[in-house]
Structures are given as structure tokens and as C-alpha cells.
Amino acid sequence: MTPETSPNQRGSVTDPAEMATSFGFQTVQKGQKQELVDDVFHKVASRYDLMNDLMSGGMHRLWKDAMVSNLNPPKRKEREWKHLDVAGGTGDIATRVVQKSDYAAKSTVCDINGSMLGVGKDRAAKAKLDQSIEFVQGNAEDLPFPDGYFDAYTIAFGIRNVPRIQRALEEAHRVLKRGGRFMCLEFSQVDVPALDKVYDLFSFHAIPPIGKAVTGDGDPYQYLVESIRKFPNQERFAHMIRKAGFERVTFRNYTGGIAALHSGWKF
């Protein structure tokens, strides 16, 4: 895959609705993006953690820990606390949530990609967490769960790959109970002078070649780097979360804005 736009021309799309036809820097037909994204994650499923290590310099592990600490799942067992992690097929967020709750929480992982779910199921079984984590294949834009079912909804480094992001946010709001919390961790817009240039150079000139050297295919990494640059920036994404019905919407930048943690509540 060759980018149609050079790094210095990139930027988050003006209209977030354009994400439905944005496959990295390429413009594709409506309905085509999901198939292309699925192919990317079929290719990288077995090396998902390596993918995020390459793209974040290993920092994604610390960011995910911070996300789950901020979520602070309850450790009491008076009632079942239900957590949904969307686009988290390998189960890394769900595992953290269950462990943080001292195994009181019940997590459901929902991912559209069967290869990612396969990796997650194997990991959960090896960690003896298969009684605490359920894996369900489903689409973030049309979740297979009833209204008001979950206490918390998380999604980490997945929402930028959803074609209709606003629809996915509305679905998140629908499946949460009143008082439920939405949290999204995603690569975002760097806001530190000079760091943005360094990050661009590393992203476009190092990540795809390293990905090719390690996995034999650099195309998935090229797409993933480009998709970050097309994703709405922090303020724009926060507006989308509010538009979906969430209140008390906030965001916190990590590592100069390389990633951002967004939070909202359903009241």
C-alpha cells in the first residue's frame, strides 16, 4: 500500500463522517472499509501486542494500565458488575479489568474479527480466566446486547477502525446502564512542539519497515499509522461522545497527546 497523501499533508478529517470511507490515506467506497480493516487484523492478530509495541514504543501497556486504574472496577461481590470491552479481541483490557477487581468483575469481549477473538480465548484459557471473560463476535455499530446491560464500556485502540464511529458511540450509550461509564483509549493528536515531528518521522519511516521485517508484511502497519492521522483530534472526538448522549465528557493526554483517554457517563 502506498499512501496517496504525504505525512506533511495529513491531518484528522474535517468531517468525522468521512471516516466511513477513509482507509488510512486512501478513500474507499462506502461499505468497503470494514472488509479491508478485517483483513488487516487477520494478518496481525497473532502479533497484536507487538503491533502496539511498535506503534507506541511499548507505552501502550502503561496507558492501558492507567485506563483500567481510572475505571477502578469495584472489588465487592454484592452484585455482578458487568464490563464490556469492544474491539478488544485479544482480551488484554478485559484481563486487566478482571484482575484489578480481584476477580469480582465479569468481562465480555466483543470483536468483529474472529482471528483476534481466537487469540483472546486461548490467552484467557491459559490464564484460567475463561470463567471471568466471555468472548462474543459482534459489530461495534450493532452490538448484540440488550439496552442498559453493562456497568462499563471500554474500547482501546479500536474505535478509529470502525467505519461509522458516531453509530458505535450511540451503541455504547445504548448498552450502558444509567450511571454507566464509557472509556476510550486511542492514538490522538500530539500537542507538544517538536515531538509531533519526531513522532511523524518515526511513524512513517520506521514502523512500516520494522513491521515488514518482523512479520513479513508492512502494509497493515502503513494503514495503522495513516489511520491515526485521519482520526478526529481530542476536542472533535469529545464532541462526538457528547453528541451520542454522554455527559461529563473529559479527556486526558498521555505522552504529549500520542494517546488520549476519553471518558463519559450515561445519566
Complete DSSP assignment for 169-222: HHHHHHHEEEEEEEEEEEE----STTHHHHHHHHHHHTHHHHHHHHHS--HHHH
pLDDT value of residue 181: 98
Reported as a pLDDT band with limits 50, 70 and 90, residue 3 is very low
Helices (H), 48-160: 48-56, 60-71, 92-100, 114-126
pLDDT per residue over 61-111, tens digit each? 999 999 999 999 999 776 889 999 999 988 999 999 999 999 999 999 999
pLDDT per residue over 201-257, tens digit each? 888 888 888 878 877 778 888 888 889 888 999 999 999 999 999 999 999 999 999
pLDDT value of residue 9: 37
Cβ atoms of 24 and 223 closer than 8 Å:
yes
Termini Cα distance of the chain? 44
| Mean pLDDT on 21-45 | 82
pLDDT value of residue 68: 98
Residue from 27, 9, 34 nearest 165 by CA? 34
- On average, the pLDDT of the chain sits at 88
pLDDT value of residue 44: 74
pLDDT per residue over 152-192, tens digit each? 999 999 999 999 999 999 999 999 999 999 999 999 999 89
Q: How many CB atoms lie within 10 A of CB 41?
A: 22
| Mean pLDDT on 113-138 | 94
Report angle CA 5, 7, 10 to the nearest 5 degrees. Answer: 65
| CA 127 to the chain's CA centroid | 23
Reported as a pLDDT band with limits 50, 70 and 90, residue 42 is confident
pLDDT value of residue 20: 81
pLDDT value of residue 28: 84
Q: Please say if the pLDDT value at position 1 is more than 60.
A: no
Coarse DSSP helix, strand, coil percentages of the chain, rounded to the nearest 5 percent: 45, 20, 30
